[in-house]
A and B are shown apart, each in its own frame.
Chain A
Amino acid sequence: MYGKKVKLRLLFIVIILITLVLTTFLILKSLEENVVYFQSPTEIKSLMELDNNKIRIGGMVKENSIIINSKEVNFIITDFKNEINVSYSGAVPNLFSEGEGVVAEGFLKDRNFFYATKILAKHDENYMPPEVKEALGDK
């Protein structure tokens, strides 16, 4: 039905696509450390060595962990396996609160303590009206 050239061009495109997919996969796999936007507390605990580079830690703000005084905000980031204490001075985003996602950018003092220079609130994928949230909360 179709000529030989048509089949060859189809084959050509398929080979290009396979090559590109494999190349991209290899590149992304080797760059994985840089592609992730933040690390979890568990990943921080398992770091071999600590350096002074700026990193980002993400997780949930632990319930009842936020302590605000005149100089700084202290709270705990948890991934429900490990925890890290965070200290930050500055304004926090509106959505920053206990039990919500957060990403903190800054420097590690040690494996348990983190000085944040920037706090970002992480929004989850749940969208619902307040009434529905209340109804869910009552259950």
Chain B
Amino acid sequence: MYKIFEPNKIFHFTSKAPKYVLVLFIVFLSIGLLEALILSPEDYKQSDAVRIMYVHVPAAWISLGIFSSLTLFSIFGFILKNKNFFLISKSLAPSGFVFTLIALVTGSIWGKPTWGTWWVWDARITSMLILALFYLMYLIVWRIYDFEEKVYKISTFISILGIINVPIIKYSVDWWNTLHQPASINILSESSIHSSMLYPLLMMTAAFALFSLLIFLMKYNTELIKIKNKGLDRL
């Protein structure tokens, strides 16, 4: 059977957290947007089109990050038979899916003036579309199956299939010729993005991460309330 955990204890903390996260999110988003849209310079080649990047790149990072953590929690849930981990995974998925779509749409909007096309089937863009489909499958599975044991197993299986795609997305631009440019920011070597553009990018990333955390907490609290309403203190 699945491990017991105490929703009341967790709810005690997570029910208070959203309002603080919301305040932080608004602060970071305001600074980030001000930096990205007004204070940061134009690009020497693409001029104002560079501003799309401040939404596109953070959205893509966050979508990959969320899928990785979602898979990790699913696997832990499966190995340790812990229901709580599955609920965390389930609550993470919606914001990850939305950020994948944002990355695809903003990329398309950027591609038209820069590359001269809305869409190409190159490795980076196609693998990102596959990520969106995996998110969709994962979300649908939770709606199809009512029986708990089944949905835990199938959702874990889908996340494991999908996680193979994550390094492919990351390294597609290095392994193959793609229309999409390689990464500008490298942890090990010097970034090929100027610091006046890197700073707003990091602010926007922090804002998006906080937004994901906010949506996650709200979803997670809903799951906990559902359990409490069933009249069960322990599951």
Contact = CB atoms under 8 A, between A and B. Distances in A.
B116 A120 contact: yes
Interface residues of B, number: 40
Interface in B180-224: 181-184, 192-194, 196-197
Contact of B177 (A28, A39, A120): A39
Interface in B142-192: 160-161, 163-164, 168, 176-179, 181-184, 192
Nearest to A95: B114
A129 B44 contact: yes
B75 to A, nearest CB: 6
A32 interface: yes
Interface residues of A, number: 42
Main secondary structure of the interface of A (DSSP, over half): mixed
Nearest to B113: A94
Given A95-B114, A132-B194, A122 B168 contact: no
B79 A13 contact: yes
Contacts of A2: 80
Contact of B46 (A38, A92, A95): A95
A35 B180 CA distance: 13
B182 A125 contact: yes
Contacts of A24: 164, 168
A17 B50 contact: no
B10 interface: no
Interface in A47-87: 58
A72 to B, nearest CB: 17
Contacts of A16: 160
Contacts of A133: 44
Contacts, number: 115
Interface string B97-121: 0000000000000000111110011
Residue from the set A9, A39, A58, A126 with the largest chain B CB neighbour count within 10 Å: A126
Contact of A121 (B115, B183, B194): B115
Interface string A3-16: 00010011001001
B44 A37 contact: no
B233 interface: no
Contacts of B114: 93-95, 121, 123
Residue from the set B50, B177, B193 with the largest chain A CB neighbour count within 10 Å: B177
Interface in A86-117: 92-96, 100, 103
B193 A128 contact: yes
B80 to A, nearest CB: 6
Contacts of A130: 41-44
Would you list the 5 A-B pairs with minimal beta carbon distance, nearest first? A93-B116, A129-B41, A133-B44, A37-B122, A128-B194
8 contacts: A9-B78, A20-B160, A95-B114, A95-B116, A120-B117, A122-B179, A128-B44, A129-B196
Given A95-B115, A127-B193, A130-B42, 11 more contacts: A9-B79, A20-B164, A24-B164, A35-B176, A37-B123, A58-B177, A93-B114, A94-B114, A125-B181, A127-B192, A129-B44
